[in-house]
Chain A
């Protein structure tokens, strides 16, 4: 059996080569000192953006070895398989065709006509809400939409609507779009307090339509609505839209057929914002913006599919990531967008990268002996400077980073009274972004050396900078697709499956087993539990006034 398995990354001859080359790479300050043209040679142009990786700890030798790795691991074939719909998600026996969702309608093959059909259905729904044709149970127009979803059905749309607010279409501006995801109902608790049930529409987005977080929120909403609208059929027809791959489950819950938007099993949850899961995006920003998002992502798909490894932004980000994790042993990766609009981008990537590549067996089920996805986190760069940058500059952890920056900003505000002041802020922001990556790389060498030990900056923390022409639907679509393909490329190098998430299943099962036990007043059922869980359950019951005592 073992002989049939693909060789592990560490068994590849080129991996040894890379390890040997690591010690020969000098400090970043020396790399820059040795070659005044370094940056020009380490620049990759892609749709709407460019990647500067000159502050990564690589030289020409390393780059050519990484290119060899790319070819030896048959990445070109893997990319071809991804796009042609091969079963790349082996543990779940299906393809991963999120890129198919972004193919322009006129190029979409017959087999995928349903993609455009669903987009049109969504477009009509969005139009009905925007134009006031969609009515709540009492005949009033919809003023608020709440997206009930979690994970892939929440993070992507939330991130995008925050990022692109300024591009909202005029017809979308009077509609307020909210997101509720948490299983504890906290967000709903706040929302239901001020929303009007007559004029609120709920989107229930769940790939399986069984996600307990989302459906428990949906049940709460149903109870909230039934108080004012006892006619259940009317309530379901006027206030609930379902977005799922599971039509039967939507029917069971009571979503009427006209209010169902479908996507397909070959779209992974965290790759689903391009499907009807993006309905909240289209409602908040307009269908035109949503289509631009798809166009940007498609442009990145084409770039990724056709550009050679060293001129391919996602491929380069993946290779440099593997170099950092597996050769330089850097196990942390910071996402640092220098743009307040990208507030939720780091949390979005946390799911995309860590849920995809936080794995330790190969596609064939073989245990692996090397690191995969690093711990990845982030924050708006300029704010993070006041939070965790201290650790980046002087801590003991090596950390790699992605700086993300839009070159143009506030172009449309220039004629406003505060336009100049805003432009000055943007310039200050650019200066901070460039300064931080410079200091991380060069350390003391960025300034005059000092003797004070507290003012010692070792430098040599690697980073890449993604420079967007401007932040709009097109470039953001391309940026997200870029990270998706980076994740895929890394998974192929590590030999793992980025499209499943078995790790999150067990916790869900155990929670379902525990829930009835917690309700029991006696302690018999809890006898089989570990002492920690048992003790906590008992204390919680005491505090809540169960276990036969009255709570205070």
Chain B
């Protein structure tokens, strides 16, 4: 199959690499492959991309996302772009429709989108085609990718499920079982990863869209719930870690996504909560829903992101100006260079605004952080302009902790788990360890000489 992928993000590159590796010819608009310093750098993915490029099945073109070459005779357009309105997406869809050579083709959305987006695009396409001689019938589908940052290839090829939502307005002749042709084509395309047991679920596009954001919303809810529980635990002097294991042992609940922490980030989660919020706001009786469950989930998460700063503030009785903080990790989760929605961003802004120096170490995400610091996204109090020296990028966690008044552990990189804490503690000005991911046993940290406070465990600060 000839495929064109839109977007320059983890989902777009993963889909492009994997589908090319199954023998498809894939075109993606980019000047070059992501390099190992980019946010998308996952080594196995980069290797696969390089291989597909070398073999010619993956082709990079230096064109805009809305430009299509009829000679590519593309049959499937995968739209992996984020944060676009239906109108913006439609520009590409319409150009695609004009360029299609075959009798039928597919347009597939793979990112979380507002409910109704797929139908809306199909409808816009039908309207645009009215009274015009069109060569191709295009099915608009919603095909969520379930790609997780940090383990992109694996999460896509071994997701164990295949969700396909078809717009109710699909025009192509239905195959048996009233399933649109486009859906059948995606099932065939994914057959290499869907062998042992057919995991395909076919539903309407709206159902699939709501399923996707529902999944993310549920996971977010579990985390925020655990954070609220951790808050109670810290006030009651209870170790949340024991509680977490106990809760997870209940088979109706399970262990996944029960980790309390200093806040989740990532585009998937934040976009999803955004879409859900919009859905709720668009409901007729919107008043009162602002105080509903999801807005609480969101608010709790925002508070969590600030929690380590609050502990720092309390520990030093608000006398924090001129102090130094070591920030361990700034990626929103391990194995990614992405800092989207990371608690580190909230902490850095708060710390810089109060005249605190920040010494950062992250194995992958420091380039992303540099870009962010230089961009306009960072908003500080007008009195406190970030000067060059206020954020120092370090080569190791030990270097970051040197002469610091506190360590804030934000990302649970494996690298941080078995460090020599005793030695690190002696090299700090104040041995205060604020663990946002609960990775150290409190006793071990205390024996190493630290005042240790985590999320619902360790010393209450």
> Quick one: given A234-B318, A237-B318, are A135 and B381 in contact (CB under 8 Å)?
no
Residue B312 CB within 8 A of the other chain: yes
State which of A127, A139, A234, A238 has its C-beta within 8 Å of the C-beta of B309: A139
Contact residues in A for B317 (Cβ distance below 8 Å): 231, 234
A6 within 8 Å of B by Cβ?
Answer: no
Closest A residue by C-beta to B311 = A139
Complex Cα distance A132/B379, Å?
11
Residue of A nearest to B353 (CB): A133
Q: A139-B310, A139-B312, A141-B306 are in contact. Are A131 and B318 (CB under 8 A)?
A: no
Task: Using known A-B contacts A234-B318, A238-B318, determine if residue A135 contacts B313 with beta carbons closer than 8 Å.
Answer: yes
Report the separation of the CA atoms of residues A238 and B354 in the bound assembly, to the nearest whole angstrom: 13
Check: A271 CB closer than 8 A to any chain B CB: no
Note all chain A residues with C-beta closer than 8 A to B354: 133
Cβ of A124 < 8 Å from any Cβ of B? yes
By DSSP majority rule, is chain A's interface helix, strand, loop, or mixed? mixed
Q: Which of B311, B379, B380 has the most CB of A within 10 A?
A: B379
Tell me if B375 is interfacial: C-beta within 8 Å of chain A: no
Kindly report which residue of chain B lies nearest to residue A140, judged by CB atoms: B310
Asked if B387 CB lies within 8 Å of chain A CBs, one says no
A138 at the interface (CB under 8 A from B): yes
Assembled-state Cα–Cα distance A131/B378 (Å) = 11
- Cβ of B443 within 8 Å of any chain A Cβ, yes or no, is no
Q: Mark A222-252, 1 if CB is under 8 A from B, else 0.
A: 0000000001001001100000000000000
Q: B309: which A residues are within 8 A, CB to CB?
A: 139
- Min CB gap A127→B, angstroms: 6
Bound form: Cα–Cα A237–B311 in Å: 18
With the chains together, A131 CA to B383 CA distance in Å? 12
* A140 CA to B305 CA, complexed, in Å: 12
Question: B129: CB under 8 A from chain A?
Answer: no
Distance of A133 Cα from B313 Cα, bound (Å): 12
Set of chain B residues within 8 Å of A133, measured between Cβ atoms: 350, 353-354, 380-381
Residue interface bits A129-157, CB-to-B below 8 A is 1, else 0: 00111010111110000000000000000
* Interfacial chain B residues near A237, Cβ < 8 Å: 318
* CB within 8 Å for A124 and B382 given contacts A133-B350, A135-B318, A237-B318: yes
Residues from chain B with Cβ under 8 Å of A138 in the complex:
310, 313-314
Complex contacts, B380 vs chain A, CB 8 Å: 133
A71 to chain B, nearest CB (A): 50
Q: Is A16 an interface residue (CB 8 A)?
A: no
Q: Complex formed: what's the CA distance from A237 to B350 in Å?
A: 18
Whether the pair A124, B313 counts as a contact (CB closer than 8 A) is: no
Using Cβ atoms and an 8 Å threshold, which residues of chain B touch A456? none
Nearest-neighbor residue (CB-CB) of B314 within chain A: A139
> Which of the residues A131, A137, A231 comes within 8 Å of B381, measured between beta carbons?
A131
A231 to B317, CA, bound (A): 9
| In contact, A124 and B310 (Cβ under 8 angstroms) | no
A176 within 8 A of B: no
**Which residues of the partner chain A approach B306 to less than 8 Å between Cβ atoms?**
132, 140-141
Interface membership of chain B positions 377-401, coded 1 if the CB is closer than 8 angstroms to chain A and 0 otherwise: 0011111000000000000000000
A165 on the B face (CB < 8 A): no
How many residue pairs link A and B with beta carbons under 8 A? The number is 39
Tell me if A139 and B313 are in contact (CB < 8 A): yes
CB distance from A113 to the nearest CB of B (A): 19
Interface size on B, residues (CB 8 A): 17
The CA of A133 and the CA of B306, in the complex, are separated in Å by: 11
- Docked complex Cα distance between A238 and B319 (Å): 12
Nearest chain B CB to A105 CB, angstrom units: 16
Bound together, the chains give a CA A131 to CA B353 distance in angstroms of 10
Query: Are A127 and B318 in touch, CB under 8 angstroms?
Result: no
- In the complex the two chains form, is A128's CB within 8 Å of B310's CB? no
When each residue 310-334 of chain B gets 1 if its CB lies under 8 Å from chain A and 0 otherwise, what string results? 1111100110000000000000000
Closest residue of A by beta carbon distance from B346: A132
Q: In the complex, what distance in Å separates the CA atom of A521 from the CA atom of B299?
A: 54
Residues of A within 8 A of B382 (CB): 124, 127
User: What is the minimal beta-carbon distance from A87 to any residue of chain B, in angstroms?
Assistant: 38
State A114–B350 Cα separation when bound (angstroms): 30
B248 to chain A, nearest CB (A): 30
CA distance A141 to B306 in the complex (A): 9
Chain A CB count within 10 A is highest, among B314, B318, B382, for B318
A139 x B381 contact (CB < 8 A): no
Once bound together, how far apart are the Cα atoms of A141 and B353, in whole Å? 13
For residue A124, which residues in chain B have a CB less than 8 angstroms away from its CB?
381-383
| Alpha-carbon distance between A234 and B379 when the two chains are bound, in angstroms | 26
Chain B residues with CB under 8 Å of A140's CB are 306, 310
Distance of B309 from chain A, by nearest CB (Å): 6
Interface string of B348-373 (1 = CB under 8 A from A): 00100110000000000000000000
Q: What residues on A are CB-neighbors of B311 within 8 Å?
A: 139
A residues less than 8 Å from B313 (CB atoms) = 135, 138-139
Minimum distance in angstroms from A238 CB to a CB of chain B: 7
Measured in the bound complex, the distance between the Cα atoms of B354 and A141 in whole Å is 13
Q: Roughly how many angstroms separate A132 CA and B350 CA in the complex, as a whole number?
A: 8
Q: Are A139 and B318 in contact (CB under 8 A)?
A: yes
- In the assembled complex, the Cα of A313 lies from the Cα of B383 at a distance in Å of 42
Closest CB of chain B to A107's CB: distance in Å? 23
A118 to chain B, nearest CB (A): 15
- Cβ of A238: which chain B residues have Cβ within 8 Å of it? 318
Q: Contact partner of A127 among B310, B312, B314, B381, CB < 8 A?
A: B381
Nearest residue in B to A238 (C-beta to C-beta)?
A: B318
User: Chain B's nearest CB lies how many Å from the CB of A242?
Assistant: 19
Least distance between B384 CB and chain A CB atoms (Å): 8
What is the chain A residue whose CB lies nearest that of B384? Answer: A133
* B293-317 contacts to A (CB < 8 Å): 306, 309-314, 317
Which residues on the B side are within 8 Å of A139 (C-beta)? Answer: 309-314, 318
Whether the Cβ atoms of A131 and B379 lie closer than 8 Å is yes
In whole Å, how far is B238's beta carbon from the nearest beta carbon of chain A? 20
Find the B residue at minimum CB distance from A127: B382
The distance in angstroms between the C-alpha atoms of A140 and B314, with both chains bound, is 10
Cα A133 to Cα B379 with chains together (Å): 10
- Given the complex of chains A and B, what is the CA–CA distance between A237 and B312 in angstroms? 17
**Mask of A176-194 contacts with B, CB within 8 angstroms, 1/0:** 0000000000000000000
A128-B312 in contact (CB<8A): no
B104-115 near A? 1/0 per residue, CB < 8 Å: 000000000000
Beta-carbon nearest neighbor of B303 in chain A: A140
Closest to B313 in A: A139
Interface 1/0 per residue, B422-447 and A, CB below 8 Å? 00000000000000000000000000
Instruction: Report how far A19 CA is from B318 CA in the complex, Å.
Output: 70
A237 to B321 Cα, complex, angstroms: 14
Residues of chain B within 8 A of A141, CB atoms compared? 306
| Minimum CB–CB distance for B277 against chain A, Å | 15
Instruction: Please report the C-alpha to C-alpha distance between residue A8 and residue B287 in the assembled complex, in whole angstroms.
Output: 61
How distant is A286 from chain B, measured CB to nearest CB, in Å? 14
CB distance from B145 to the nearest CB of A (A): 33
* Highest count of chain B CB atoms <10 Å: which of A128, A133, A139, A141: A139
Q: How many angstroms from the CA of A234 to the CA of B314 in the assembled complex?
A: 10
CA distance A404 to B63 in the complex (A): 61
Q: Which residue of B lies closest to A171 (CB)?
A: B379
Distance in angstroms from A32 CB to nearest chain B CB is 47
Give every chain B residue within 8 A of A234 (Cβ-Cβ). 317-318
Minimum-distance CB pairs A-B, first 3: A139-B313, A139-B310, A133-B353
- Residues of A in contact with B (beta carbons under 8 Å apart): 124, 127-128, 131-133, 135, 137-141, 231, 234, 237-238
Other A-B pairs, 17, CB within 8 Å; known A139-B313, A140-B306, A234-B318:
A127-B381, A128-B381, A131-B353, A131-B381, A132-B306, A132-B350, A133-B350, A133-B354, A133-B381, A135-B310, A137-B318, A138-B313, A138-B314, A139-B312, A139-B318, A231-B317, A237-B318
Q: What are 23 A-B pairs with beta-carbon distances under 8 A?
A: A124-B381, A124-B382, A124-B383, A127-B381, A127-B382, A128-B381, A131-B353, A131-B379, A132-B306, A133-B354, A133-B380, A135-B310, A135-B318, A138-B310, A138-B314, A139-B310, A139-B312, A139-B314, A140-B306, A140-B310, A141-B306, A231-B317, A238-B318
Contact residues of B with A, CB < 8 Å? 306, 309-314, 317-318, 350, 353-354, 379-383
